[in-house]
Structure 1
Amino acid sequence: MSDYQPQKTFCHECRKNVEYQIKELVEKKEVRGLEFEYTAERAYCNECESEIFIPELHDQNLKKIDAAYREKAGVIKVSEIKEIVEQYNTGKRPLSLLLGWGETTLTRYLDGDIPSKSYSETLKKVKSDYNYMRQLAAENKDKVSEKAFNNLMESIKDLQQDEIKTEKKIDSVIKYLLKELGEVTPLALQKLLYYSQGFYKTFYDEFLFEDECEAWVHGPVYKDIYFKYRDFGYNPIEDEKLVFENINLTEAEEELLDSIIDNFGCYSAKTLERMTHSERPWRLTRKNFKPEQKSCEIISKDLIAKYFEDVNEKYEMLNVEDINDYSEQLFIKIK
């Protein structure tokens, strides 16, 4: 015998308890003048087909509306605010005061109030920029107890130490590129990482770092790196919290990166973008997408490896300095 129990509730049209079914519907909503879509769940009577109000579904739909609005507006999520409170280990009220806000501001945001764009951006920044949090705390330390302030300073110290321990190879590559080039925009950095990965593979038969590359509208992109530096926009990356220490690279890796800097670092971000657009890995990965259509399709490592292997053979590269021949011809090609 089946244990299945059909869902039942009261239908105001039928005036009795009825079985119902739940359907997913893509609906439009407008919040604060911003229109967006979200997937709602609605319950319908199996007998008269009229919509039935289910409190649990209503609550779920409200959460979906909130999430969809925050995504569209670029506003920080409640879950991310919870992470901030936990990582700084200071308490909601003291942390709110150390940010320069009212003591109940963070509590309201954790309860679901939507922060303004400027408050949201501040929260996003302190989530990853510990020096910025330290700066704000120093400016507002007289608003909290000495114990609360010291707890925050200890948390920042622990977070920075943990970050150093968990750095990946791509972090060392980025540090080296930024240190040697001085001025690099986020867009240019993405392309330099891509060329570093491809050419390292063809010369040393292994990838420089493990991270996957995605075929975005403006060329190959390492998503985590994009979100880390996107606030710089089209400006050079000036990351005050970045310390050029603990750069974990071998001599061969540095030699390869020096060649990438010499042969690709001399070009603008937009030129590098056009270069990657002309190459097979990005074009093949985006073959089913329109030019301005967003995509998070991964450019497979096999595709990258094969392409740069073909480049190596075509230009008869014997060492990393020979990358020069390819970069010059590629520049002529896209002019």
Structure 2
Amino acid sequence: MKRAGFCENCDDMRPFALKRVPVEEHIRGKTYRFYITKAICLECGNEVSLPGLLDMNTREIDFQYRKEEGIISISEIRKLMKLYHMGKSTLSLALGFGEITVTRYLDGQVPSQAYSKIMYEALSSAAFMREKLKANREAVGESAYKKALKAIHELDDSFTHLPSTLMDVISFIFQNETDITPLMLQKLLYYANGIHDALLGRPLFTSRCEAWIHGPVYRDVYDVFKNFKFNLIDDERSALLLNSKVNLTPEDRNLISNILNSFGMYSGKMLEYMTHQEDPWRKAREGYGPDEYSQVEITEESIKQYFLHIPEYFDMDKVEGMRAYITRMLK
């Protein structure tokens, strides 16, 4: 069932999608560009009123302001502790700080930019955290050291199986969305890769795509995220993706942004329904029952050929064209 809120433009309750939109704020004589969450009506595209959204926007602006100024937030410090299975004093010592430094930050003291930079590095790189931990092993203590090192190894095992370009694409999606389920991620990757290959003559990334019951699935991506929380971004392990540097061309970023502003407005189940109407999945599933398990490959060529023909009817290099295609498929 779709979520619904009151749309003033439609003057009625309407289904909506949560999207991140840019806003400008002037703070202490300086202009900042922040991205806040808005509920967008799926029928007219205008804003929908939701209780609690203004408070959420305030927190988002505070979080981004700190990040813009290079100051880590309390919630990010807590993520660090969960990510590496460390208590407050252990994290302080592992990073080379005084034993009660992190405790003071959690109590409200504002970290310096220098200390914030170190903590941000740890949030974006398990390898960096490993080096800091090893350098301060004696101060941390053997028991806490082994516990934290095990957590680091588990993180390495999770993400090192994905190609670097695919990791960049996933990181970009995570950094520009607020609500991503495993099913939604799979479908966004599928549409981004297929449309990119058709428009630009090369796939966005290389990964085996399979025709599962619930639509196209990249198995290596599934294996990484299968034990994450339902909203992948809520899982502390996603901090590594949310804070990582993304190495994508402006052209690639623009196309993925268009995907997020069109296909990304729909739930994973709606996107699954769409893929079931399209030739690449349908042809790969020929001979299989609706609920029959399969690992058959959806070839890169079949995906490319399908999306190559769509621009004959829809302008797929623009958000408006993608939305028109979606509307046709859902009907």
Query: TM-score of the superposition, structure 2-length normalised?
Result: 0.53
1:215-274 deviations in whole A, cap 9, x for unaligned? 000000011211222234654542312332221211111100111011101111111000
Distance 1:176 1:259 in 2: 12
Amino acid at match of 1:134: Y
Distance 1:287 1:196 in 2: 24
Amino acid at match of 2:205: F
Distance 2:161 2:186 in 1: 24
Matched, 1:330 2:326: no
Q: Which residue of 2 aligns with 1:301?
A: 300
Aligned-residue identity in percent: 32
Distance 2:325 2:84 in 1: 46
- 8 A Cα contact 1:255 1:320, kept in partner: no
Compute the displacement of 1:330 (Å). Answer: 1.6
Distance 1:130 1:212 in 2: 32
Matched, 1:135 2:131: no
* CA distance 1:233–1:160, shift in 2 (3 Å): closer
Distance 1:271 1:317 in 2: 19
Query: TM-score of the superposition, structure 1-length normalised?
Result: 0.53
1:102-127 deviations in whole A, cap 9, x for unaligned? xxxxxxxxxxxxxxxxxxxxxxxxxx
Amino acid at match of 2:288: F
* CA distance 1:157–1:267, shift in 2 (3 Å): closer
5+ residue gaps, structure 2: 1-78, 92-139
Q: Which residue of 2 aligns with 1:271?
A: 270
* CA distance 1:168–1:309, shift in 2 (3 Å): same
Tell which has more relative contact order, 1 or 2 (C-alpha 8 A, sep 6+): 2
- 8 A Cα contact 1:280 1:307, kept in partner: yes
1:263-297 deviations in whole A, cap 9, x for unaligned? 10111111100000000000000011111011111
Distance 1:158 1:256 in 2: 34
Q: Which residue of 1 aligns with 2:190?
A: 194
- 8 A Cα contact 2:192 2:256, kept in partner: yes
Q: Which residue of 2 aligns with 1:93?
A: none
Q: Secondary structure at the match of 1:293?
A: coil
* Structure with greater Cα Rg: 1
Q: Among residues 134, 138, 144, which one is paired with 1:149 in the alignment?
A: 144
* CA distance 1:232–1:166, shift in 2 (3 Å): closer
Amino acid at match of 1:282: W
Q: Among residues 212, 219, 226, which one is paired with 1:216 in the alignment?
A: 212
- 8 A Cα contact 1:259 1:321, kept in partner: no
- After the TM superposition, which residues 167-246 of structure 1 pair with which residues of structure 2 at under 5 Å, given as runs? 168-232=164-228, 234-241=230-237, 242-243=239-240, 244-246=243-245
5+ residue gaps, structure 1: 1-128
1:14-53 deviations in whole A, cap 9, x for unaligned? xxxxxxxxxxxxxxxxxxxxxxxxxxxxxxxxxxxxxxxx
- 8 A Cα contact 2:314 2:324, kept in partner: yes
1:159-196 deviations in whole A, cap 9, x for unaligned? 76896897521111111112211111110110000000
Q: Secondary structure at the match of 1:299?
A: coil
